[in-house]
Chain A
Amino acid sequence: EVQLLESGGGLVQPGGSLRLSCAASEFTFRPYAMTWVRQAPGKGLEWVSAISGSGSDTYYADSVKGRFTISRDNSKNTLYLQMNSLRAEDTAVYYCAKDDGYSGNYEAFDIWGQGTMVTVSS
């Protein structure tokens, strides 16, 4: 079964860091762009960051630019999100999603993981 499995969420203090991982299985990971989307408790969806299939191009929402870094290891079929200088407003479920294309632009998200919760609080 095609699957994305996130890990790495948890409770962190404001100003702290976390690294999320997303392990892909049962599909050819390398050519496809990948995306992180978050959902604050009781709220809607917010696009966070995307990376092209090769990893050469990355994109960020203004709300996380300069604080978050997206990366991927195609040899391990794994996507990452390094989150630094975390704020209370970053509290959310973080989903990884597979793009239906290769670039990270102009693509819908056809496979989603179950999400990992990040709570930023003192």
Chain B
Amino acid sequence: EIVLTQSPDTLSLSPGERATLSCRASQSVSSSYLAWYQQTPGQAPRLLIYGASSRATGIPDRFSGSGSGTDFTLTISRLEPADFAVYYCQQYGGSPSTFGGGTKVEIK
């Protein structure tokens, strides 16, 4: 099973700042089958990024994904109030699919 480790656990930033979230895999994620999801309190997760760098439908371009192999990054270029949430990475190139533990982006 591929273990995903997200860092940091919590990121304290102000609106307008840049957020950089990391996701590291215990082994290489094949074909960049890596996704990012956003979850706000009491809500279901929402797909942001798939294939490591492709934005899902309707996702604003301030969200971007990068990386390959074992190291992946989600960048939010300028934080807006709605972006303060928990973010999860997921690999779906190995069986079973696994999620990281999440990074909480909170208002500083």
Closest chain B residue to A62 by CB distance?
B96
Say if the beta carbon of B67 comes within 8 Å of chain A.
no
B93 neighbours in A (Cβ, 8 Å): 106
How many residues does chain B have at the interface if contact means C-beta atoms less than 8 Å apart?
25
- Interface residue stretch chosen among B10-18, B20-28, B45-53, B77-85: B45-53
Shortest C-beta distance, A47 to chain B (Å), equals 5
Closest chain A residue to B51 by CB distance?
A108
A61 neighbours in B (Cβ, 8 Å): 96
A44 neighbours in B (Cβ, 8 Å): 88, 99-102
Say if the beta carbon of A113 comes within 8 Å of chain B.
yes
Assign chain A's interface to a size class: 20 to 34
Closest chain B residue to A113 by CB distance?
B44
**Can you report 18 A-B residue pairs in the complex whose CB atoms are below 8 A from each other?**
A44-B88, A44-B99, A45-B90, A45-B99, A47-B96, A47-B97, A59-B96, A62-B96, A100-B50, A105-B95, A108-B35, A108-B47, A108-B56, A109-B35, A109-B47, A110-B47, A112-B46, A114-B43
List residues of B whose CB falls within 8 A of some A CB: 31, 33, 35, 37, 43-47, 50-51, 56-57, 88, 90, 92-93, 95-102
